[in-house]
Structure 1
């Protein structure tokens, strides 16, 4: 980037103006005092790339490579506990009646599982808001006034916040975003479901709920073809509950198979030739397969003929009128 600046006769302040950030932020990125932001969490690479007349995406790709190399070198460092001020802010936002119970759990470990879970979820929620509003000058101006900063300095804070993670969240991140944007949070220690209430003056839809309980998926409506198949006693051949459950779980991406399809699927399921030896022992043998299939085909043709006859009569009446 420095080389490209020299080639084009540009300076750091030109980069800062293009990216709508402070000159000191650009300086820290160029000197390596700050880790380059992750491309998906920032918009500065596109803005700077246009100024430097680089192919679209090239600067982001180079930055991503350099960032990963630095992170690899730091990978072996053990996780550090949160700053005391960060923990205190998070606890202060907890519902009062549960605060001391949560504090006791937090203090058992420097940065235990529950503290990481809560911090991560709070970060996720506020980061999403910050990313959604990054292009909103009105929102940024509101946050700038709230924190007593300039518009450019606020953009820098947002970009740095978007690039932080649960292990590196700073006191400044909390003061600038978690403090003003989060009103309160609560967690159910039995299910780990969280409720986060946001500042309604800055954020529409101010209540967020997150559940961590495993729930069984709702059963979709039964296919008409399967209903018809199950009503037809000679056809379904006394299908067992296990077999019916198997047929119910089949999915067709918007298509709707006929009863004949389910009949053939059941016969395939029962045919020992379709399974390795011993794996189909619990399945019934095929019974009168040819006769039943022929009957189903005849029924299908009969219904088609009836539909054709009805359509013919309707067309005849329409012609007369």
Structure 2
């Protein structure tokens, strides 16, 4: 469905103004040279499967031309974590349990999840990395020539305390 026509009419703009602005904004986002937060880079490098290669990769990312590689790595890991969060949004009971565990309301937890879905590699905070990315990704590796990534997910096995509660 084309949302630009009703929005353009409501805002009383010329019929091509809104799509043109949206396209320019999307193009500007992809060509951004801003780096993700340095702590995010450190958190994600700590998840690398081979720590020797992680140190080599850290040096490569620190170079001036490492911006695009860093965006690829952070962007792909962010996409994987956002996929988990999308599935979590469908589980109302799980959100209620997580909200009570974190000491917030159902709506606050749901908003937190939805805000994470809007995150970009540049806007990702270290708290987002700790709360959403690290619990879901066990490790990753990248082929520096092709930028193909291998991402190992964490097991969804219940924690030992949960196993004990389930066995009663």
TM-score where L is the length of structure 1: 0.37
Gaps of 5+ in 2: 1-5, 11-17, 159-168
Q: Could you tell me how far 1:85 is from its partner in structure 2?
A: 1.2
Aligned to 2:131: 176
Q: CA RMSD in A?
A: 3.2
Residues 191 and 110 from structure 1, CA distance in 2 versus in 1: closer, same or farther, beyond 3 angstroms? closer
Gaps of 5+ in 1: 1-57, 204-321
Cα deviation, 1:186-245, whole Å, max 9, x if unaligned, reads 112233221111221279xxxxxxxxxxxxxxxxxxxxxxxxxxxxxxxxxxxxxxxxxx
Aligned to 2:78: 123
Aligned to 1:80: 34
Cα deviation, 1:126-152, whole Å, max 9, x if unaligned, reads 111211221202433565477x34233
Given candidates 104, 108, 117, the residue that maps to 1:153 is 108
Aligned to 1:226: none
Aligned to 1:201: 156
Distance 2:100 2:53 in 1: 32
Whether contact under 8 Å (2:36, 2:71) holds in the other structure is: no
Cα deviation, 1:258-301, whole Å, max 9, x if unaligned, reads xxxxxxxxxxxxxxxxxxxxxxxxxxxxxxxxxxxxxxxxxxxx
Residues 79 and 190 from structure 1, CA distance in 2 versus in 1: closer, same or farther, beyond 3 angstroms? closer
Q: Which has the higher contact order (CA 8 A, sep 6+)?
A: 2
Instruction: Report how many residues are paired.
Output: 136
Whether contact under 8 Å (1:93, 1:184) holds in the other structure is: yes
Aligned to 1:40: none
Residues 167 and 202 from structure 1, CA distance in 2 versus in 1: closer, same or farther, beyond 3 angstroms? farther
Q: Are 1:114 and 2:102 an aligned pair?
A: no
**Secondary structure of 1:190's partner?**
coil
**Secondary structure of 1:100's partner?**
helix
Q: Greater Rg, structure 1 or structure 2?
A: 1
Q: Could you tell me how far 1:88 is from its partner in structure 2?
A: 0.9
